[in-house]
Chain A
């Protein structure tokens, strides 16, 4: 069974440019998460989806970040415009439901803003 798939694995962009990350969760998983992991830190939740609905986006910087999960499957996270401080690893995870015990993570997209 395929795990959570993210692309690209690496992205280098100049500040003020836009960037987008894509995530394909495990088949059948209704809940999808985007986390950001800064260097030397644990991941922090940006947004959580239950199917198509964003049920927790309280940590998402809405002035420059946006996310969507059309049809309740794949998801895209966008930053526009990117800032130097956005350099981090962006991790996508999925679980059967929001209260399910096990969340499975993708390999992440490492973003470097120069």
Chain B
């Protein structure tokens, strides 16, 4: 069955790098995603990676994919207080447009 797991909390100092990790189960996933959710808001798509890629960089964001271990990570460089939010990892399940989300990682950035 499909399942996505994330650690629940991460706390970093402003200016440090943050690394949020995720594991998934569906080896046929075509795309893997990172969404950001601020309090009271919907989900904002941050970035995504195609399953045949190992890495994708987009400004301060770096996504690493280890398909063998079914492990996805999101690195945020120079983390700012505005990055404080809940980050969701998601996989596109069975190529059918259905996103399977993890339970979210709450990132807290301290000044």
Task: Give chain A's interface residues, CB within 8 Å of chain B.
Answer: 4, 31, 33, 40-45, 48, 56, 91, 93, 95, 97-108
Contact = CB atoms under 8 A, between A and B. Distances in A.
B98 A91 contact: no
Interface string B70-111: 000000000000000000101000011111011110000000
Nearest to A10: B40
Contacts of B95: 99
A91 B101 contact: no
A47 to B, nearest CB: 10
Given A42-B4, A42-B103, A101-B31, A106 B42 contact: yes
From DSSP, what is the main secondary structure of chain A's interface residues? loop
A105 B43 contact: yes
Given A56-B97, A105-B35, 18 more contacts: A4-B42, A40-B103, A42-B88, A42-B102, A43-B43, A43-B88, A44-B101, A45-B98, A45-B99, A48-B98, A91-B43, A93-B43, A98-B96, A99-B97, A101-B48, A103-B97, A105-B44, A105-B45
Nearest to A102: B45
